[in-house]
Amino acid sequence: MKRILLILTVSVLPYLGFSQVGINTNSPNASSALDVTATDKGVLLPQIDLQSVDDASTITSPAASLLIWNTGATWGNAAYYYNSGTAVSPNWSKFQTSDDVSSFTEGDIKQGMQASDHNGWVILDGRAINTLTATQQTAATGLGFAGNLPDATDKVLMSRSGGALGNTGGNNSATLVQANLPNVNFIGVTSTAGAHSHDMTFRMWNTSAFNHNHNLNNGEFSERIGADDNATLNYSDNVKTTDTEPVHSHNVLVPSGGTGAAIDITPSYLQINTFIYLGE
Give the per-residue pLDDT at 172.
84
Where does the pLDDT of residue 171 fall: very low under 50, low under 70, confident under 90, or very high at 90 and above? Answer: confident
pLDDT-based confidence at residue 254 (cuts at 50, 70, 90): confident
Does 86 map to a domain?
A: no
In a domain, 138, yes or no: yes
**Cβ proximity of 142 and 106 under 8 Å:** yes
Residue 257 is assigned to a structural domain of this protein:
no
Per-residue model confidence (pLDDT) at position 222? 46
Q: Would the pLDDT of 8 be above 90?
A: no
- The percentage of the chain sitting over the pLDDT mark of 90, rounded to a whole number, equals 35
Instruction: Say yes or no: 8 and 130 in one domain.
Output: no
Same-domain status, 147 and 113: yes
Determine the Cα–Cα distance for residues 149 and 144; give it in Å rounded to an integer: 10
Q: Which of 36-40, 157-161, 239-243, 267-271 has the highest mean pLDDT?
A: 36-40
Whether the predicted pLDDT of 137 surpasses 90: yes
Compare 173 and 101 and report the one with higher pLDDT.
173
- Any long-range contacts for 148-156 (C-beta under 8 Å, 24+ apart)? 149/122, 149/124, 149/125, 149/276, 150/124, 150/126, 151/124, 151/125, 151/126, 152/124, 152/125, 152/274, 153/125, 153/126, 154/266, 155/274
**Whether residue 235 is found in the same domain as residue 274:** no
In which band, very low, low, confident or very high, does the pLDDT at 243 lie, cut at 50, 70 and 90? low
* pLDDT at position 227: 47
Question: Per the domain annotation, does 272 fall within a domain?
Answer: yes
pTM > 0.95:
no
156: Cβ contacts below 8 Å, ≥ 6 apart: none
Per-residue pLDDT of 14-68, as tens digits, reads 444 556 898 999 889 988 899 999 999 999 999 999 999 899 999 999 999 999 9
pLDDT of residue 61: 94
d(CA 120, CA 102) in angstroms, rounded, equals 6
Residue 141 φ/ψ, nearest 5 degrees:
-65, -40
**Cα–Cα distance for residue pair 150/51, rounded to 1 Å:** 29
Within 10 angstroms of residue 21's Cβ, the number of other Cβ atoms is: 15
**Phi, psi for 142 (deg, rounded to 5):** -65, -25
Is there a single domain that holds both residue 237 and residue 269?
A: no
For residues 163 and 109, the model is more confident at 109
pLDDT tens profile 200-225: 666 665 555 444 444 445 544 444 44
d(CA 275, CA 120): 9
On whether residue 135 sits in a domain, the answer given is: yes
- Cα separation, 280 vs 104, whole angstroms: 12
74-119 confidence digits (pLDDT tens): 887 788 999 989 999 998 988 765 445 546 788 999 999 999 998 8
Strands 92-94 and 21-23 come out as unpaired
270 and 149 in a single domain? The answer is yes
> DSSP code of 147?
S
- For residue 140, what pLDDT is reported? 93
In this structure, is residue 99 part of a structural domain? Answer: no
> Is residue 52 assigned to a domain?
no
Pairing between strand 79-83 and 273-277? unpaired
Mean pLDDT of the chain: 78
96 within some domain: no
Q: State residue 123's pLDDT score.
A: 96
Domain that holds residue 28: 2-36
Residues 48 and 57: beta-carbon distance below 8 Å: no
* 108 and 153 fall within a common domain: yes
User: Does residue 272 share a domain with residue 153?
Assistant: yes
For the chain, how many structural domains are there in total? 3
